[in-house]
Amino acid sequence: MDPIIILQAGVASGTVLLFATIGEIITERSGVMNLGLEGMMLIGAMSAFGVTVTTGNGFLGLLVAMLVAGLLALLHGVVTIHFQADQVVSGLALTFLGTGLSLVFGEGLNKAGAISLLPVQSVPVLSAIPILGPIFFTNHSIMVYVGYLLVPAVWAYIHFTRPGLHLRAVGENPTAADAMGLNVYRLRYLYVFVGGTLAGLAGGTISLAISPGWFSELTTSGQGWIAIGLVIFAQWDPWRAAFGAYTFGALRRMILDIQGPQALLGLRNPFFFNPYLGFFLQMLPYLFTIVVLIIGSREALRKRLGAPAALGLPYIRGERGA
Amino acid sequence: MATTATAVPRRWRLPYRLQVDRRLEAPRWLSPLVSLGAILVALLLGAVILEIVGGDAVAAYAHIGRAAFGNLGVFSDTLVKATPLILVGLACAVAFQMKLWNIGAEGQFFMGALGASVVVLAPIVPIEAPRWVTIPAMLVAGMAFGALWGAIPGLLKATLRVNEVITTLMLNYVAISLVNFFVFAVWSEGGFQMSPTFQRAAWLPRLADYASQVPLFRGLTTHLGLAFALVAAGVVWYILYRSLWGFEIRLVGDNPRAAHYAGVNIVRNTVLVMMLSGALAGLAGMSEISGVVHRLQTSISPGYGFTGIIIAWLAKLNPLVVAPVSVLFGGLILAGREIQPAGVPRLIQGIILFTLIASEVLLRYRVRLVRVDAEPA
């Protein structure tokens, strides 16, 4: 129960949630909600692992994972953007499809032997900082550092660049964006694809770095849905998403570690003496997601902030919109 | 209405092009036809994927047909699988009618099973109690536990506008962990991951129980739960299409603003509909352990709650259509257990849902091939 270790591991496993959450933020900012994260992450995890097993190249694995998950997301794009299907139902369909595809194509992958994982690195100077160094900059998979770079990059892209302005425009008011001369359909397809690739990256990060291997549906165990909850908690802001993702990562690690010691804060540790109480610990991430959602919703009501105005609505050119 | 042309290359022109027009109203016969077409396309796509991974699609589909509908015995097993599916399909349909996305039927199913088990194992009803006491008590407890599990996201949605998609889904994991706790820590029989077998009075009667009177029923596993499910389908249909409450539910689903101005209490309806939905899924859980498993254990559902979503959508949220659609999916689940690779039934379900929602565009738009030169300029 060393807090530094818990936080260090929390940053590592939170990186998975971070990629998925940021991807969904980008997609939702463009006005499309994609509830298929779980399916895209699973197919990403499966294809990253499968490609790495056959080629021995982890980076190729990640690339394929991003591409496959991105293509799957485009399917959601076609159905919701052009066919105007309900985004909730299409997202659920994507979850089923992604899960089914990864189970079928991943058959037998769980028996694959050890593979070379993505490299682990410490950052030379920064790792010497007390407390922060060991937590953020020591012995992390390079994907963790990619996460550090992604957060400010996406934040700056959304708020300070012209394409970022266009992204927000098609999500807030597609009719006006169209009148400005933006191609609403093309931009939405683009950002649905980008969100998919990040979900694939999240899946690949699980199977190649954070908890290596392919364990069918247990590989993601609902993290895609937790990420969707985090998007609402984050109020579609990358910095808050990072905070939420790392906190959740730490929580997941704490649940494992809390069952170890005999004494907790000087008292008998009930989780050590009755391992069945672990079932209640397993509920915590999911209960915590609900709490986080309640916090996010209350804040949205109070500040009158919230989801992109056109989120979930199909845009039909030439018809009066919302 | 907008008329748009697609698939027209700039220089080289095809002699035909697609003409897409908005429909004002789709003919009644079109909707079932389009759904049927979607399923056929889905089965075709599934076959292609099966062939890619080296499976034999024809043999797989033939096996599903034989092992699910081949004779009276297996058809009876298919009906056993269809029983919980009808109930969770109804649970989803009633919530979706109000555009409440309850995807927590799986968790409500587990809670229903837990509620029914509490009655037997706590025990609330003594072991010597007759069947006509035990079964109704389990029924009420199962529905109450499911309703409670549905009420939580309902309340959060109604009062705090918390997204019910995620809360219902999260509560699935919580419910399964809770059931695991009771199975392993409280009611475990000899350390195994299952409770002791229920007394006979807690078993729903099966057709096979009457084989001495009707020889035809020998070995048939279909149980009383099927009757519960069919009655529930009738009741839900009556509520939705013949009662004022059902009118309010559908009005909120179609146009919440209009419903609000018409004086419909949306907060109360949100909670009540989620409770009804949860109670139906809970009844499915009760019927499954009382009619099939006869004990509480961890693996009581191959994802019934999620299949219910697809069933509800395929039935266009009509309770009376839910039942026949559930029989088809019951067959898929029953026969799919023996097909390798193991993910095939899930994959086919996913493809069906996808082609289904994609095909609905044909109900809103008329798509025609027209000759380019046959058009007036």
Task: Write the pLDDT tens digit of every residue in B116-137.
Answer: 999 999 989 898 999 999 999 9
In-domain check, residue B22:
no
In-domain check, residue B336:
no
d(CA A105, CA A95): 15
Within 8 A of B53 by CB-CB distance, chain A residues are 104-105, 107
Within 8 A of B184 by CB-CB distance, chain A residues are 276, 279
C-beta neighbour count of A308 within 10 angstroms: 22
d(CA B211, CA B179): 35
Q: Do A97 and B350 touch (CB under 8 A)?
A: yes
SS3 label, residue A187: helix
Q: Which residue has the higher pLDDT, A322 or B35?
A: B35
Q: Which residues of A70-92 are buried (b: 16+ CB within 10 A; e: fewer)?
A: bbbbbbbbebbbebbbbbbbbbb
A230 touches chain B (CB under 8 A): no
Å between B307 CA and nearest CA of chain A: 9
Bridge-based pairing state of the strands B3-6 and A267-268: unpaired
Helix/strand/coil (H, E, C) string of B13-32?
Answer: CCCEEEEEEECCCCCCCHHH
In-domain check, residue B166:
yes
Q: Which of B166, B344, B360 has the CB atom closest to A289's CB atom?
A: B166
Given this model, what pLDDT does residue A308 score? Answer: 85
d(CA A241, CA A225): 14
Task: Write the pLDDT tens digit of every residue in B165-210.
Answer: 889 999 999 999 999 999 998 998 877 888 999 999 999 999 988 8
Under the banding of pLDDT at 50, 70 and 90, the label for residue B5 is low
d(CA A305, CA A313): 18
In-domain check, residue B208:
yes
In-domain check, residue B70:
no
Which residue, B185, B188, B164, B187, is CA-closest to B107? B164
Q: Which of A102, A222, A317 has the CB atom closest to B173's CB atom?
A: A222
Bridge-based pairing state of the strands A140-141 and A120-121: antiparallel
Question: What's the mean pLDDT when you consider all of chain A?
Answer: 89
Å between A210 CA and nearest CA of chain B: 22
φ, ψ (nearest 5 deg) of residue A131: 60, -65
Question: Taken in order B126, B129, B131, B132, is the CA torsion positive or negative?
Answer: negative
Average pLDDT on B354-369 reads 85
Q: Which tokens hold the place of A3? A: 């807090």
Whether the per-residue pLDDT at B2 is higher than 50: the answer is no
Å between B310 CA and nearest CA of chain A: 8
In-domain check, residue B45:
no
Residue A319: exposure state from Cβ atoms within 10 A (0-12, 13-18, ≥19): exposed
A94 touches chain B (CB under 8 A): yes
Bridge-based pairing state of the strands B16-22 and A263-264: unpaired
Whether the per-residue pLDDT at B338 is higher than 80: the answer is no
Under the banding of pLDDT at 50, 70 and 90, the label for residue A114 is low
CATH number 3.10.450 given to A3-122+136-303: no
Provide the number of structural domains found in chain B.
1
Average pLDDT on B260-287 reads 96
Q: Do B2 and A101 touch (CB under 8 A)?
A: no
- The runs of H, that is alpha helices, within chain A are 3-29, 37-55, 58-77, 87-105, 132-136, 142-160, 162-172, 174-179, 184-205, 223-233, 238-257, 270-273, 278-303
Whether the per-residue pLDDT at A258 is higher than 90: the answer is no
Distances (CA, A) of A229 to A28, A148, A274, B162: 13, 21, 31, 10
Task: Write the pLDDT tens digit of every residue in B209-235.
Answer: 888 888 888 888 999 999 999 999 999
Å between B127 CA and nearest CA of chain A: 27
Please name the amino acid found at residue A42: L
Distances (CA, A) of B111 to A170, B143, B176, B290: 42, 9, 8, 14
Task: Write the pLDDT tens digit of every residue in A122-132.
Answer: 888 888 888 88
In-domain check, residue B302:
yes
For an interface test with A, give the residue of B166, B186, B188 to mutate (most A CBs within 10 A): B166
Percent of chain A with pLDDT over 70: 96
Q: Which residue has the higher pLDDT, B10 or B286?
A: B286
In-domain check, residue B39:
no
Given this model, what pLDDT does residue B12 score? Answer: 64
Domain hosting B304: range is 82-322
Under the banding of pLDDT at 50, 70 and 90, the label for residue A260 is confident
ipTM of the complex: 0.87
B370 Cβ contact list (under 8 Å, min separation 6): B16, B17, B18, B19
Q: Do A93 and B169 touch (CB under 8 A)?
A: no
Average pLDDT on A144-163 reads 96
Q: Which residue has the higher pLDDT, A108 or B305?
A: B305
For an interface test with B, give the residue of A88, A218, A290 to mutate (most B CBs within 10 A): A290
Question: Taken in order B107, B110, B115, B116, is the CA torsion positive or negative?
Answer: positive
Segments making up each domain of chain A, as ranges: 3-122+136-303
A228 touches chain B (CB under 8 A): yes
Which residue, B35, B15, B31, is CA-closest to B23? B31
Q: Which of A92, A276, A282 has the CB atom closest to B103's CB atom?
A: A92
